[in-house]
Chains A and B, each alone.
Chain A
């Protein structure tokens, strides 16, 4: 059964220094409030896992929370670069950042394997790419290897499972027993939660009854460790039915994150100075 707690308590109990953390949400339902709480609690040496690091990991990386990033597309969608991510890769600021990169198809399948309790997943992918050489080469801890189909003899690609210590997602709502419901673009959140040892779900609202919704993903209470109410907690991404994507913020982030000084000022004013639970 999920425990319904404050966001601060959920992060304190679920996210520890050195953990592998997957904060998922594919453009939609990105758990920004939870990310800010992780920054506020000054977690360190995290392995951050996420298909599209987006602004949320630009913030965590710039705040010095991460030791390693596992990802497949690290840009500001439609805008340009993630400057804090680039500064960490190009200049090791504020701390060196190890990277392990994949394609979206590879990452999605790695989560599927984790959720399925399998050590790997199979796909057609990576053949002839530099990613295959990076992740399958003799020097790397391999996460991509060729595999021969036992039925047809065809050579396919195996990718190793992702099993995070903790998954963090944002959903539209939960009921008082901690059953979680999300809809719209649901990305890989179900897979991320089921692949992880623990999970934190922030929600727009907690309701008495979850009336059924066509196409919704439901995570039963017993698959989730903590539920915390965080209305607006996906901003500047959005929660379909509750808010719209703040595209202006994504554009404005480019200037905030471009220089270390403006980013550090943002961090002080918009994260450290803000009490937990307020946005």
Chain B
């Protein structure tokens, strides 16, 4: 999954992960408020803030609102998040006052497994719940981020293991089992609008809410996305070819990581 891509036009070399992070960063608009999960989402959100979205408000579940880290934090509670934040609030407060009422524009999440309706599993894979094959970290803030942010973007590497027909455990609800489920469950946010992977971008079909491939990175064939999806992936009539990272984007990303 760490294949290097050589771009003939701009002559820059980048990894599939870098393309994914850049693509996810581009999905964030300047001035948005963004509830950030750790890992890939945090890299992308910080890249957006370092490039086209300097006024992006980063909110971490540790209670840091408006954090402006100069380096990529390893955890959601690194000291620089608190030291650079506009406000630091308690954990009950971040969830009750800030997330729950729907004040936050976008929730930025990762996933271990995701299904065609954008439901996320970060709890356990295989076997049964009491005797799983793989025990994952669990829910953290994700269920309520997925429920209450105005919309959700998921960043996840694409494979047959991670993109499944039905998740083994619903940790965080996307569209449940289809249209009408979010309303029936009383989930106030609009749900997942994009899944950004190392191959391209998926968006929900407006009718069925099933995630459909709508964008591909340069040089990635649609057949590759199909092969790395565990359900019969629908492909938009004319998928957008997503531009390669610009040198500015790559420089900012690499500077952040200290590489």
Contact = CB atoms under 8 A, between A and B. Distances in A.
B96 interface: yes
Interface in B140-191: 140-144, 147-148, 169-173, 176, 181, 185-188
Nearest to A247: B74
Contacts of B76: 27, 77
Contacts of B138: 71-75, 101
Contact of B82 (A52, A112, A240): A240
Interface in B23-44: 38-39
A186 B63 contact: yes
A185 B77 contact: yes
A73 B187 contact: no
Contacts of B46: none
A217 B93 CA distance: 14
A105 B148 CA distance: 12
B99 interface: yes
A90 B123 contact: no
A78 B62 contact: no
B139 A73 contact: yes
A219 interface: no
B185 A108 contact: no
B185 A185 contact: no
A90 B133 CA distance: 7
B74 A103 contact: no
Contact of A129 (B74, B95, B171): B171
A204 interface: no
B99 A105 contact: yes
B143 A81 contact: no
Nearest to A215: B88
Interface in B42-92: 61-64, 73-79, 81-83, 88, 90-92
A266 interface: no
Contacts of A250: 74-75
Contacts of A126: 143
A250 B75 CA distance: 10
Interface residues of B, number: 52
Given A74-B138, A105-B144, A154-B186, A245 B75 contact: yes
B132 A26 contact: no
A57 to B, nearest CB: 12
Interface string A213-225: 0010100000000
A238 interface: yes
Contacts, number: 173
Nearest to A98: B130
B144 A77 contact: no
Contacts of B135: 74, 81, 85-86, 89-90
A138 interface: no
B39 A238 contact: no
Contacts of A134: 129
A28 B92 contact: no
Contacts of B90: 186-188, 190-191, 217
Nearest to A191: B92
Given A26-B62, A103-B141, A184-B88, A128 B173 contact: yes
A125 interface: yes
Interface centre among A101, A127, A129 (most CB of B within 10 A): A129
Interface in A46-83: 51-52, 71-75, 77-79, 81-82
Contact of A127 (B39, B131, B147): B147
B137 interface: yes
B92 A109 contact: yes
B218 to A, nearest CB: 30
Contacts of B74: 77-79, 245, 247, 250-251
A105 B132 CA distance: 24
20 contacts: A26-B62, A27-B75, A27-B78, A72-B140, A75-B137, A75-B138, A77-B75, A81-B135, A81-B136, A89-B135, A104-B141, A124-B148, A128-B187, A129-B172, A134-B129, A184-B79, A187-B91, A188-B90, A245-B75, A245-B79
Interface of A: 26-28, 51-52, 71-75, 77-79, 81-82, 85-86, 89-90, 101-105, 108-109, 111-112, 123-131, 134, 154-155, 184-188, 190-191, 215, 217, 237-238, 240, 244-245, 247, 250-251
Given A103-B143, A185-B82, A245-B78, 17 more contacts: A28-B62, A72-B138, A73-B138, A73-B141, A77-B38, A77-B74, A78-B38, A89-B132, A89-B135, A101-B138, A105-B95, A123-B95, A123-B96, A127-B186, A128-B187, A129-B143, A237-B77
